[in-house]
Amino acid sequence: MWSLFDIFAGPNAPASATAVTNATGTASYSYIGDGGMGIDQIRASYLGYLGQTVYSDVAQAEWIPNEDDCNHNQIPDAYDIQRGTSMDCNDNGIPDECDIQNGASFDCNNDGIPDECRGCPPVDIVFVMDTSGSMGDESDALCASIGAVSAELAAVGITVNPFFWGITDTYFACLEDYVTNQLGSSIPGNTTCGTDIISDEDWGPATAVVAERFPWTPGNVRLIVPISDEGPCRGNSCEDPGTDRDSITNAITIANNNNCFVSTIVGTGANQCVIDLAQALASGTRGASYIFTGTLEDFAEALLTVITQACDQATDCNQNSIPDECDIASGFSQDANQNGVPDECERRGEYRVLDHYGQVFDVGNTSPVIDAGLYPPCGIALATTGDCQGSLVLDESGRLYPYGYVSEGLTGRDYGCKIARDVELTPSAQGAYVLSGYGTIDAYGDAYHFGSPYFGSFMHPIDAARDLELVLGRVMPDKSYPYENLSGVLGYYILNCLGQVLPFGGAHMHGDAFFGFDIARAMELAPDGEGYIILDGYGQVHGFGSMESVAMSLAAQNPYFGCDMARDIEITPSGNGWHILDGHGHIFHVGDAQPLVNDPLVTEADVFEDLEPCSGGGTIPPNTITSGIDIQVAAILKKLERDNRLVLSSASPVAANPAKGEEPVESFSSPDPEVQSVEAEAEAPKAAQVLFRSR
């Protein structure tokens, strides 16, 4: 028996062919599709026992470009993605499973989703609104835009739980409650701005209260958005330095201790002091800062930005397209305090402190970012790179403990006694200098040895060296050349316990203190390279060279301990101020140095040894938005657009792209009382096989 196959419509119509029906009642027909893109309409028929023609239902064979098929499912990748049978979360035109299989994307947690396409936990967001009369426009914009923003975020899988609070009242329409009513008025941490919130413009203290006491949902992202146009402490005038800056410093400390992001929105008409402090709060808590320009569209864009940035920081804080949990699990990132946040993202303050147990803390943060686990306690000095992504801890015996991108080969040596006194990293972080109490210098890695003294005699050495300071901004000479033949080379200063300064290499002498007894503790170089300051154990600071007049003018601001309690000093970038660390953990600010709230770390024991700066605060700078769509918002909108396109495509398939070749990809079945099925399936490029089966 013969069966007839008829292509009566489509790119290959008209065409027909006959095929023998075998003993099972099946006939097969293969044909080459050379008519282009489109859908062929195919019908099979045969003569029945009574001479009548029996027809099958109409079947279809779709011809689309012969493109890559990375997952070998006989469906070109582009069509796979278009139909939704494969996902393409990174929009690179390749199914996600293929990106993972070929190594283009990583999937560290084996969930089938490329790491760069991480999801975001739900976001608890508390808006803290200044309810003074000047904030009406900002309040209206917030009330009008949050619904649409929440819907847009929900469309891309981000759930937002918003809370709209005033500070001391609910003056505006959409405010549900106020901070002092829900959480009380007492201010946690530093009380420079007072012990209680008393003003509807106290947005600095209110941020600290929300961070500390709000009932955050476990596992959710914690985001606080203060909105104001006045100073953060009591409003009206803005003091920086002063109580306003102090309230921001305190809010940063409290927010970071409670794993909160803070993004600020500054109202129209705010002065530069308010703008600067809002940006400082955002920068110190890995948030974004936005200046309201008066348009609803910009306000909505700002909300999208602050929320998506918090999501990014909560899931991939170092922005390396690998989930934080995987960075930690692989050892790429450290997590000393085991809070799930890579340590490099917890560079929260402008300074770090080292205690005698080898623990390194961000100022004001009780969770160590590094724990060398030294027992018995013997931590003596800390060196950090400028961005705090590399650190080196020295113990009293001379052993070194490298972290971050500091060379792993920097391990020091064991002196056999507790005589190590200080350590300095070379600019490359691939070398280090270690100072012993005898004045000797060990140079490791790419460190060039410029020379050193030796206090006492070989038989009777004296523990006299106290501090080592590197001259930066110059060339590290090649070890194969004598440094005397080079100009502008690096160098270092060695400070002994009597206050004498010994320069080596490119270091220049500017004078010394010579106290006559063991009381010199630390020194710092002037930013202009033309002087230095020396700290004594009582807390007094002595200036030399370009720092002589500065030290004299600020002498009254230095602390006076009355005993040997000062441990370290760090100069400000301007050279017009400094911070002083004592053994209990107190940090004193002098001149233009900003207050550092270290109260949570202060102890009755004398355990703190070293204070080190992290330039730029060691945090990601805030995104300051004035108008237009931020990059992150554009990404959100792009994803929304893509998702909408996918929905349309699944409901109404679009034409294929220009062909590289053709192959059918659809299989189909057409049951009939007389004919069980007609099927078209992919057999080979540019060929279709149609099967006809009768009873």
Residue 111 makes CB contacts below 8 A (sequence gap 6+) with none
CB 687 within 8 A of CB 30: yes
pTM (predicted TM-score): 0.49
Place of tokens 């600010």: 589
SS3 146: helix
Q: Under the phi-then-psi rule, with left for phi > 0, alpha for psi from -120 to 50, and beta for the rest, what region is 355?
A: beta
Residue 30 makes CB contacts below 8 A (sequence gap 6+) with 683, 687, 688, 689, 690
Query: Strand 2-9 vs strand 15-20: parallel, antiparallel, or unpaired?
Result: antiparallel
Q: What are phi and psi of 624, to 5 degrees?
A: -100, 115
The per-residue pLDDT for range 632-673, each reduced to its tens digit, is 333 333 333 333 322 222 222 223 333 333 333 333 333 333
Residue 37 makes CB contacts below 8 A (sequence gap 6+) with 11, 63, 64, 65, 655, 656, 659, 662
The CA distance from 473 to 369, in Å, is: 28
Q: Write the secondary structure of 138-188 as one string of H (helix), E (strand) and C (coil).
A: HHHHHHHHHHHHHHHHHHCCCCEEEEEEECCCCCCCCCCEEHHHHHCCECC
Query: Strand 26-32 vs strand 38-47: parallel, antiparallel, or unpaired?
Result: unpaired
The CA distance from 200 to 592, in Å, is: 29
| Tokens representing residue 188 in the block | 């946690």
CB 499 within 8 A of CB 512: yes
Question: What secondary structure letter does DSSP report for 117?
Answer: G
Instruction: For residue 580, name the pLDDT band (cuts at 50, 70, 90).
Output: very high
Percentage with pLDDT > 90 across the chain: 35
Residue type, 475: V
Instruction: For residue 489, name the pLDDT band (cuts at 50, 70, 90).
Output: confident
List the single range of 48-62, 478-492, 545-559, 666-680 with lowest mean pLDDT.
Answer: 666-680
CA quadruple 402, 407, 408, 413: dihedral sign: negative
Which helix (H) or strand (E) is 299 found in, with range? Answer: helix 296-315
What is the pLDDT, as a whole number, of residue 64? 62
The CA distance from 555 to 558, in Å, is: 6
CA quadruple 282, 237, 363, 524: dihedral sign: positive
587: pLDDT strictly greater than 50: yes
CB 412 within 8 A of CB 419: no
Domains annotated on the chain, with CATH: 2-114+654-694 (no CATH), 123-315 (3.40.50.410), 320-346 (no CATH), 348-618 (2.120.10.30)
Instruction: For residue 518, name the pLDDT band (cuts at 50, 70, 90).
Output: very high
Residue type, 371: D
What is the pLDDT, as a whole number, of residue 481? 63
Angle at 486 (CA atoms; ends 482, 490), nearest 5 degrees:
90
User: Rounded mean pLDDT of 281-295?
Assistant: 83
